């Protein structure tokens, strides 16, 4: 084997495979993690902004925070239709889990 051929064989040994599912899976996982972190950051910013708006409204209305929350809870509880709707939604969500043979294995 000539020196030139040996050099070519040596250099070609560095070639990465054309398809490497493990490498691509690791890359896609990193991309998914970065996307998730970005989404969480965005949602956190929105939540903080929404909290600030609610806090400002409560302040402006002259109510105390505890008073406003208590008033809101009392209003909710005093609405029978809303409570009933809540029960129906909860039942619809829990029923498939309670009934036998409906769960995904």
Give the contact letters, 9-48, x = binds to other proteins (CB under 8 A), - = no.
xxxxxxxxxxxx--xx-xxx-xx--xx-------------
Cβ-contact 68, 61 below 8 angstroms? yes
Pick the closer one to other proteins by CB: 25 or 52.
25
Query: Is there binding between residue 5 and other proteins (CB under 8 A)?
Result: yes
User: Given the complex with other proteins, which of 4 and 104 has the nearer CB atom?
Assistant: 4
- Owner of token pair 């998730």: 36
Shortest distance in whole angstroms from residue 48 CB to other proteins: 24
- 68: Cβ contacts below 8 Å, ≥ 6 apart: 58, 61
What does the alpha-carbon distance between residue 51 and residue 44 come to, in Å, rounded to a whole number? 10
Write down the least CB distance from residue 21 to other proteins, Å: 10
Contact predicate 96/103, CB 8 Å: yes
Residues forming the site for other proteins (CB under 8 A): 1-7, 9-20, 23-24, 26-28, 30-31, 34-35
């Amino acid at each position: 084997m000539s020196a030139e051929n040996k050099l070519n064989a040596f250099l070609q040994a560095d070639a990465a495979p054309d398809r490497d599912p493990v490498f691509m899976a690791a890359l896609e996982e990193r991309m998914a993690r970065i996307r998730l972190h970005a989404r969480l950051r965005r949602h956190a910013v929105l939540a903080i902004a929404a909290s600030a708006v609610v806090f400002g409204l409560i302040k402006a209305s002259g109510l105390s925070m505890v008073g406003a929350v208590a008033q809101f809870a009392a209003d909710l509880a005093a609405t029978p239709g809303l409570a009933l709707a809540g029960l129906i939604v909860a039942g619809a969500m829990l029923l498939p889990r309670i009934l036998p043979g409906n769960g995904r294995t």
